[in-house]
Amino acid sequence: MKANITLKLDKELLREARILAAEQGTSISALLAAKLEEAVRKRHDYEAVKKRALAILHKGLNLGGKPLTREQMHER
- Which three-class secondary structure state does DSSP give residue 37? helix
pLDDT in tens, 40-74: 999 999 999 999 999 999 998 888 888 888 998 89
pLDDT value at 34 more than 70? yes
Q: How many angstroms separate the CA atoms of 14 and 19, rounded?
A: 9
Range 35-43 average pLDDT: 97
Say if CB 29 and CB 39 are below 8 A apart.
no
Give the predicted TM-score (pTM) of the model: 0.66
- Give the type of residue at 65: G
Structure confidence at residue 76 (pLDDT): 67
For the chain, counts of helices (H) and of strands (E):
3, 0
Q: Where are the domains of the chain?
A: 33-58
pLDDT in tens, 6-31: 999 999 999 999 999 999 999 999 99
